[in-house]
């Protein structure tokens, strides 16, 4: 279980084990010593019995801050496209 804080709130996410093992993106990585670092994380929401869970599909440490700029521009573009066609 991981706790993420994006400045607007906190979100708990958990990694799905595949065959009882960590997925390739998380194998051999220790996140405990990276508290306060920035990560690009892709979550998949799951809703069941009134409970909301988020499963981590991918996690990657940000070592190039252009990744953040590109992500923001992608989000803005997809939002504008959605508004245009809705």
Phi and psi angles of residue 57, each rounded to the nearest 5 degrees, phi first = -95, -30
What does the block give as tokens for 30?
A: 């220790």
Query: Under DSSP, is residue 82 helix (H, G, I), strand (E, B) or coil?
Result: helix
User: How far, in Å, CA of 11 to CA of 73, rounded?
Assistant: 23
Per the listing, tokens 């306060």 go with 36
Q: Break the chain into its structural domains and give their ranges.
A: 2-85
pLDDT in tens, 36-83: 777 778 878 888 777 777 777 877 778 888 988 888 898 899 999 988
More confident residue, 38 or 9: 38
Query: How far does CA 75 lie from the centroid of its chain?
Result: 14
Burial of 79 (0-12, 13-18, 19+ CB in 10 A): exposed
The answer to whether 17 and 28 have CB atoms below 8 angstroms apart is no
Q: pTM of the entire structure?
A: 0.52
């Amino acid at each position: 279980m991981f706790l993420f804080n994006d400045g607007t709130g906190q979100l708990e996410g958990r990694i799905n084990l595949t065959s009882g093992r960590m997925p390739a993106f998380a194998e051999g990585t220790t996140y405990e010593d990276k508290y306060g670092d920035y990560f690009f994380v892709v979550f998949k929401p799951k809703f069941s019995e009134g409970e909301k869970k988020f499963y981590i599909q991918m996690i990657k440490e940000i070592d190039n801050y252009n990744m953040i700029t590109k992500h923001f521009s992608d989000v803005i573009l997809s939002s504008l496209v959605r508004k245009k066609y809705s």
